A and B are shown apart, each in its own frame.
Chain A
Amino acid sequence: MDSLIEELKIKLIEQLNLEDMEPDEIEADQALFGDGLGLDSIDALELIVLMERDYGIKITDPNKGREVFATLTSMAEYIKANS
């Protein structure tokens, strides 16, 4: 689980062009959207692409996406459960 979260941190920075961020600066339970990391709706769509391309998991409902992408922990749990 921890290694998956570390992997996601790196992918997140790369996929979402978070050029000013280092992996250590993102916490596993920090909110990714809103006041947390400040990601927006286009980022959420890019995360959907990431899930499909890298983990073979298809998310088609934006509301489901919101739930899955709450934190890195929730993302990792969803990947574990669905792959």
Chain B
Amino acid sequence: MHILKYCFVSDAEISDGSKILFKSNDKDLKSFLKEFYKSEKLEYPKFYKMDAQCKLAFIAAEVLFRDVVREQYKNEEIAMIFANSESTLATDMSYWESTKDIASPALFVYTLPNILMGEIAIKNKIKGENYFFVSENFDAQLLHQQTEIVFQNTTTKLVVVGWVNYESETNYFAKLFLVSKSEIGLFPFTIDNINNLNK
């Protein structure tokens, strides 16, 4: 298993590991991601409807899939394994506020953490396995173990591995890895390497 690419988003900065791809003076997540969306001319209006955590994961996945020859992989050959500690706490709270008046369906939809994988799947036509874990801390061992298990399913060739947490407009991060079953890539996908990259 090798990491083909990775993408980190935090503190108004998007990096692909080796270099900073985008930096904004606006620390506020919503404005910062919109700035990136505009500068990249993404033209995917559904983006605006997503909640903050979903936007965060979505943008990181856009960067991850850039330059990947998507046609090399069938839709069923790409899987996703995500985790976080917050589940969807921020949106749970906004939705709960809305129920005091009239419950908002658009907010309710995003009170499930796996919806962000659904959005990435729709955009990138991914039909493989997809799992979302809720664990207290970033758990490289869990992500590594799950990726290994999913690769035992012979159809899977590529796994998008992610840790995405949105706490507030200024405290958020996404760490996404594109992991290939093959022995070619940037680094071997090992627990140590994941932890080192996470530092």
Contact = CB atoms under 8 A, between A and B. Distances in A.
Direct contact of A and B (CB under 8 A): yes
Interface residues on B, range: 10 to 19
Interface in B79-132: 101-106, 109
Contacts of B104: 46, 49
Interface residues on A, range: 10 to 19
A52 B102 contact: yes
Interface in A22-49: 38, 40, 42-43, 45-46, 49
A4 interface: no
A17 B102 contact: no
Nearest to A45: B105
A11 B103 CA distance: 17
A19 B48 CA distance: 7
B49 interface: yes
B106 A42 contact: yes
A37 to B, nearest CB: 9
A49 B102 CA distance: 7
Contacts of A45: 105-106
Interface of A: 16-20, 38, 40, 42-43, 45-46, 49, 52-53
Interface of B: 34, 45-46, 48-49, 101-106, 109
